């Protein structure tokens, strides 16, 4: 009999996972509380990196995949994967609201022996100390009646090399049987599934991955400022250092860390660290450095072009990385706000984002005093600037 799988949260993590599971032979039900998103998925108008619209249509037609807003439909699922966001609050603290709501609703409808897997990024101890009690509070089940595991998502939008199948997958369960079942599930559509000794190891591994990147982004941005002061081209420094075949990994300067993971996940680590009185001060400093990166770039640019007041400026690329439309935590947006605060007349071009802050993307053209390149999508035609000055936010030489 075909196993029934539920996936809660149909964003950049959940929808590709649902598609991969359906393609591997599972009967998949995707759940999302956003009515518009469900409608767009069904109509084929939702764009998620790594998901082809024709593939969705085929899965719907074959009834291998269905989507809904109704948690009650999860009653038949033997496996349920939670893939909801774990953002930050307005005070930059971990926000588990989506995870708590999804888990509480799910618990009302699960049956005995269901395997529940959390993929959302959380602080160490959350799966065991928060999810397990919440499931039991909202259901008639005890800890012996269901299986619980954690498997951190590893999705890199617009990465043409590493996808769901070939990116190694970490798993850990509350019991050996939960671990075995989780590994068996993922092994159907992922080549390399790696078992961790505990939930807490898997939870912390995810935080380490992105904290490592945050630290190195902060360091390379500091080094870029240093090189700028000396008139050294940071790109050539990185190129030279990259010839070392061991012990070095290249990172590149930018306006700071953006997106759904790198600026957010380390705070789940530092929050837990503060709670147990074991602060990780280097991460706090890295967050501070990256938050200041847009202002630091504008200080350097100001010394080059003078006052921004009254200048017409085109900002190219406002998403957090090239070839994606996601603007979450994008430092380009901070740069735009700072420029406007200083009296600049700012327009922006980003054909993937299209609309932000009730503003529309404008065409690249020469009707500006100068342009700032923040993010370059593959389809951005800089030749349309027709000779006006362009300042690259990734360069130490302006």
Q: Report the C-alpha gap between 158 and 326 in whole angstroms.
A: 11
Task: Label the pairing between strands 359-360 and 4-8.
Answer: unpaired
State residue 54's pLDDT score. Answer: 87
Tokens 């953002």 label which residue? 87
- Do the beta carbons of residue 87 and residue 118 sit within 8 Å? no
End-to-end CA distance of the chain: 64
Q: Report the C-alpha gap between 131 and 126 in whole angstroms.
A: 7
- Which secondary structure element, helix H or strand E, spans residue 65, and what is its range? strand 65-68
Quick one: pLDDT band at residue 356, thresholds 50, 70, 90? very high
- Do the beta carbons of residue 207 and residue 230 sit within 8 Å? no
State residue 1's pLDDT score. Answer: 60
Residue of 135, 168, 171 lying closest to 152 (CA atoms): 171
Task: Label the pairing between strands 147-150 and 169-173.
Answer: antiparallel
Q: Report the C-alpha gap between 338 and 139 in whole angstroms.
A: 50
Tokens 């019991």 label which residue? 175
Kindly report, residue by residue over 233-269, the tens digit of the pLDDT.
999 999 999 999 999 999 999 999 998 889 999 999 9
With vertex at residue 36, the alpha carbon angle to CA 333 and CA 11, rounded to the nearest 5 degrees, is: 60
Write the CB contacts of 238 (distance below 8 Å, at least 6 apart in sequence). Answer: 220, 250, 251, 252
The token pair at 367 is 């009707």
- Which secondary structure element, helix H or strand E, spans residue 22, and what is its range? helix 14-23
Quick one: pLDDT band at residue 157, thresholds 50, 70, 90? confident
The token pair at 245 is 């075949």
Other beta carbons within 10 angstroms of residue 347's beta carbon come to 18
Other beta carbons within 10 angstroms of residue 12's beta carbon come to 21
Residue range(s) occupied by CATH 3.40.50.720 in the chain: 4-197, 234-392
- Do the beta carbons of residue 269 and residue 207 sit within 8 Å? yes
HSE value, Cβ hemisphere, 13 Å, CA-based, for 234? 23
CATH of domain 4-197: 3.40.50.720
Q: Cα 204 vs. chain centroid, distance in angstroms?
A: 17
Q: Which residues pair with 147 in a beta bridge?
A: 115
Kindly report, residue by residue over 75-132, the tens digit of the pLDDT.
999 999 999 999 999 888 999 999 999 999 999 999 999 999 999 999 999 999 999 9
Asked about 261 being catalytic, the answer comes back as yes
Helices (H) and strands (E) in the chain, counts: 12, 14
Per-residue pLDDT for 289 more than 90?
Answer: yes
If one compares 160 and 4, the residue with the highest pLDDT of the two is 4
Catalytic residue, candidates 196, 227, 261, 374:
261
Kindly report, residue by residue over 197-216, the tens digit of the pLDDT.
999 999 999 999 999 999 99
State residue 208's pLDDT score. Answer: 97
Tokens 């948690």 label which residue? 71
Kindly report, residue by residue over 162-179, the tens digit of the pLDDT.
999 999 999 999 999 999
Q: Left if phi > 0, otherwise alpha if psi is -120 to 50, otherwise beta: which for 64? A: alpha
* Domain range 234-392, CATH class: alpha beta
State residue 372's pLDDT score. Answer: 96
Kindly report, residue by residue over 29-54, the tens digit of the pLDDT.
999 999 999 998 888 788 787 788 88
- Do the beta carbons of residue 165 and residue 190 sit within 8 Å? yes
């Amino acid at each position: 009999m075909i196993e029934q799988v539920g996936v809660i949260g149909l964003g950049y993590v959940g929808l590709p996972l649902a598609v991969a599971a359906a393609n591997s032979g599972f009967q998949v039900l995707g759940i999302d509380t956003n009515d518009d998103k469900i409608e767009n998925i069904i109509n084929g108008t939702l764009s998620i990196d790594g998901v082809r619209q024709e593939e969705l249509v085929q899965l719907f037609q074959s009834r291998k995949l269905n989507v809904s807003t109704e948690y009650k439909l999860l009653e038949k699922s033997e496996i349920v994967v939670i893939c909801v966001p774990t953002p930050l609050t307005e005070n930059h603290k971990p926000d588990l609201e989506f995870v708590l709501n999804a888990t509480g609703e799910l618990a009302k409808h699960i049956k005995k022996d269901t395997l529940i897997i959390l993929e959302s990024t959380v602080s160490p101890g959350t799966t065991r100390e928060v999810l397990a009690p919440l499931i039991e509070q909202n259901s008639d089940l005890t800890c012996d009646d269901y299986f619980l595991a954690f498997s951190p998502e590893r999705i890199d939008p617009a990465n043409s090399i590493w996808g769901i199948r070939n990116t190694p997958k970490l798993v850990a369960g509350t019991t050996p049987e939960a671990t075995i079942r989780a590994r068996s599930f993922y092994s159907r559509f992922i080549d390399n599934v790696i078992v961790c000794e505990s939930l807490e190891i898997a939870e912390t591994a995810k935080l380490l991955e992105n904290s490592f990147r945050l630290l190195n982004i902060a360091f390379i941005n500091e080094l870029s400022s240093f090189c700028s002061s000396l008139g050294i081209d940071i790109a050539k420094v990185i190129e030279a250092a990259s010839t070392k075949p061991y012990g070095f990994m290249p990172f590149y300067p930018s306006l700071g860390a953006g997106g759904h993971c790198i600026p957010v996940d380390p705070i789940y680590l530092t929050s837990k660290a503060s709670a147990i009185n074991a602060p990780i001060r280097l991460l706090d400093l890295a967050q501070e450095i990256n938050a200041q990166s847009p202002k630091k770039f504008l200080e350097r640019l100001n010394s080059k072009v003078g006052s921004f007041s009254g200048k017409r400026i085109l900002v190219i690329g406002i998403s957090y990385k090239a070839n994606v439309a996601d603007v979450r935590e994008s430092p380009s947006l901070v740069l735009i706000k700072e420029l406007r605060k200083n009296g600049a007349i700012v327009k922006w071009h980003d054909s993937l984002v299209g609309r932000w802050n009730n503003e529309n993307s404008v065409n690249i053209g020469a009707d500006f005093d100068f342009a700032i390149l923040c993010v370059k999508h593959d389809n951005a035609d800089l030749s349309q600037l027709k000779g006006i000055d362009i300042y690259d936010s990734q360069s130490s030489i302006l």
